[in-house]
Amino acid sequence: MKLSCAIIDDEPLAVELMESYVRKTPFLELKASFGSGVAACEALREAPVDLLFCDIQMPGLNGMELSRMLPEETRVIFTTAFTQYAVEGFRVRALDYLLKPISYADFLEAADKALGWFEMKRRAEALPPAGKEPQSIFVRTEYRLQQIELERITYIEGLKDYVKIHVDNQPGPILSLMNLKALEEQLPPDRFVRIHRSYIIQPSKMQAIERNRVVIGKEYLPVSESYRQTFYTFLAAHSLLF
């Protein structure tokens, strides 16, 4: 999958640096570079790109203002020397926020996040209409198959050769002799996300995210480093992060 992209910065050296980073990244395709928001605005509305690397402080039309004028399909990664814009950047649904001077490692991490967001978005668009999605799953418990409504599942805990399925309005979890990976393949990817080698959650059941932990009811579930990017990409793709 390739992402079309554009660069906006009023500093020519910053534009050159970002162009060199784009050329080094196989899944990015540079369509245009601009020296101001004013110059970019009309061009990007007529020929939208997937991803925009955009400076914030620019004369005439700043990056925040421009981001609100772009087509819905264009997502933004802000680039700036000023940390105070981070919160406002996420309020306009930016995918990431890069603080200058920007290393290629930081650039690539943000670009990977964008790629993950677009891939997840396309997978979600390819799913059947909501009314045709499975509303429940069957799992083997002791000597029977038990039907569990997806809407009731809060989170799933993997314990070696079996899983604990925690559901609403039930005092204890449902135990099933299967591994977490096998169960994950049965779950709709637009509703459930893995946050740890031992946990899958339904994000709509979260109360909060606190210090790399997800709060569901009275439980605090860890978000591990290896799954953190996937988790936050899921939240951004489903507008749960803003």
Query: Do strands 213-216 and 162-167 pair parallel, antiparallel, or not at all (unpaired)?
Result: unpaired
d(CA 83, CA 98): 9
Structural domain includes residue 242: no
User: Do 8 and 68 reside in the same domain of the chain?
Assistant: yes
Who wins on pLDDT, 220 or 93?
Answer: 220
User: Do 147 and 98 reside in the same domain of the chain?
Assistant: no
Q: Identify the domain boundary among 126, 153, 187.
A: 126
Please give the pLDDT value at position 130: 54
Please give the pLDDT value at position 87: 46
pTM, two decimal places? 0.57
Please give the pLDDT value at position 133: 65
Q: Identify the domain boundary among 126, 146, 172.
A: 126
Please give the pLDDT value at position 131: 54
User: Do 25 and 110 reside in the same domain of the chain?
Assistant: yes
Q: Identify the domain boundary among 126, 156, 171.
A: 126
| Count of domains for the chain | 2
In angstroms, the Cα distances linking 49 to 141, 158, 195, 239 are 49, 41, 31, 20
Q: What is the pLDDT of residues 124-179, one digit of tens each?
A: 666 555 555 678 888 888 667 788 999 999 999 998 778 999 999 888 899 988 88
Residue-range definition of the domain harbouring residue 142: 131-237
Query: Do strands 75-80 and 96-99 pair parallel, antiparallel, or not at all (unpaired)?
Result: parallel
